[in-house]
Amino acid sequence: MLERVAPSSLTSRPALEHDNSGASLRGHLPVLDGVRGLAVLMVLLFHFIGNTQPTNGVERVIVAVTNYGSSGVELFFILSGFLITGILYDASNRPHYFRNFYMRRMLRIFPLYYGVLILVFFVAPLIPALHGPTLDYLVDRQAWAWLYGVNIYIGLQGDWSFSYLEHLWSLSIEEHFYFVWPLVVLLLASRPRTLIAVSLTVSLGAMVARLIGSLMGLSWWTVYVLTPFRLDGLALGAFIAVMARQPGGQDRLVQTLPRVTVVAGALVVATFGWTKLVSHGGMEFVLPVRAALIEILLACLLFWAMVAPSRSATSRFFRCRTMVFLGTYSYGLYVYHHFISYYLMTNQTEFALAQRLGSHGLAVALQAAVGAAVSLAVAYVSYELFEKRFLGLKRFFGTAEKSSFQRNEVSEAVRS
């Protein structure tokens, strides 16, 4: 798996036939399925547990911790930027660059996404039991979902205002990224140093934009869901993808990884210390900084998962059957689970269940387990009986030589 080549200039055009030291970029990488599985698991914990109302000190701690499951969205963004940029960069000197990329993306994303919209906007109104103001509200504003504008609508409203479909905001950001990034990669693929610099600039720019927007008094939703403010994770993943493909690039990333992790981790701890021990104010500054630092740590986690020794605890965790299984069905799991979690949280069903069980904590745990299991079952059936029919057509839009990134195309599942 480790391949060594003589060092060459960073500015030389890398191709798949060039071997870099470090983790192989060829073949299927189960570890990336595991990373994807961790991301969706974090989102499930956030929505099924982090959004519940705690009734005692222990529950408050659990809710506080699982609230950081929202960072699963950031991990999805980083992974998406990493995989998509890898696909584009590897194919930049091949025929049908745009056609192959967009057709493969459409076959992966559109069937499930628009299939769900058809169910919500055309089938659900035919079922009397589902009639009500919530469904009417969505139907009246359905154009935002059809056009991948849910994040824009939420940003304009300044609230989580799209009920059962509000989690599609992150898929909207992914789609906006796909509109522009293929052209950027194509134009700069022959100049990898420039592409690396652009990726880092875009990432840093989005982080700074969130900070400035927060300090200027923009609403939390504006800086959280609008695309220009959320490009940092995608661009950070793009940086890793291009850097890892340069001769000696993986070695440089490995050497830098411990220092970046320690510094970013220490600063994250410092932000908590500041709010707890020094000042309870200034959250408009602390929160964007903390979010940026957490993203950097997640990017480090992604890269470490790739290069960690096969027998290490990290590698075993991300390659285990459970994480790979979750990652395989993560797109559908992400899309479907929110219908269940939103209903449960909105109706606070855990309190009615707690009366029967005699324990609120047990009710939350049981509700979360059942909700996640049902979501996974629906995602499994959807993938095996529906999505696979379209995924099989991707073979008509591939290339003769495929990299691991083409075989590990990211599940489009992002949300907080």
Q: How far is CA 402 from CA 33, 322, 406, in A?
A: 17, 26, 6
With tokens 């994807």, the residue in question is 36
Low-confidence ranges of the chain (pLDDT < 70): 1-28, 278-282, 399-416
Domain of 343, in residue numbers: 30-407
Q: How far is CA 316 from CA 35, 231, 257, in A?
A: 12, 31, 20
Phi, psi of 311 (to 5 degrees): -95, 0
Contacts (Cβ under 8 Å, ≥6 apart) of 65: none
Looking at the chain, how many residues does it have?
A: 416
Contacts (Cβ under 8 Å, ≥6 apart) of 312: none
Q: Give the 3-state secondary structure of residue 19.
A: coil
Q: Which tokens belong to 4? A: 């060594």
pLDDT of residue 316: 95
pLDDT of residue 403: 42
Q: Is residue 22 situated within a structural domain?
A: no
Burial of 407 (0-12, 13-18, 19+ CB in 10 A): middle
Q: Is residue 275 situated within a structural domain?
A: yes
Q: Is residue 378 situated within a structural domain?
A: yes
With tokens 């095996």, the residue in question is 384
Phi, psi of 55 (to 5 degrees): -115, -5
Q: Which tokens belong to 25? A: 């970029």
Q: Which tokens belong to 73? A: 């969205």
pLDDT of residue 284: 79
pLDDT of residue 274: 81
How many folded domains does the chain comprise? 1
pLDDT of residue 411: 42
pLDDT of residue 147: 97
How many contiguous H segments (helices) and E segments (strands) does the chain have?
20, 0
pTM (2 d.p.): 0.90
What distance in Å separates the CA atoms of residue 73 and residue 78, rounded to the nearest whole number?
Answer: 9
pLDDT of residue 20: 37
Q: Is residue 18 situated within a structural domain?
A: no
What distance in Å separates the CA atoms of residue 140 and residue 160, rounded to the nearest whole number?
Answer: 16
Q: Is residue 388 situated within a structural domain?
A: yes
Contact 164, 339 (CB under 8 A): yes
pLDDT of residue 15: 37
Q: Which tokens belong to 127? A: 């079922």
pLDDT of residue 6: 30
3-state class percentages of the chain: helix first, strand second, coil last, to nearest 5: 75, 0, 25
What distance in Å separates the CA atoms of residue 183 and residue 193, rounded to the nearest whole number?
Answer: 17
Q: Is residue 77 situated within a structural domain?
A: yes
Q: Is residue 203 situated within a structural domain?
A: yes
What distance in Å separates the CA atoms of residue 406 and residue 58, rounded to the nearest whole number?
Answer: 44
pLDDT of residue 138: 97
Q: Is residue 4 situated within a structural domain?
A: no
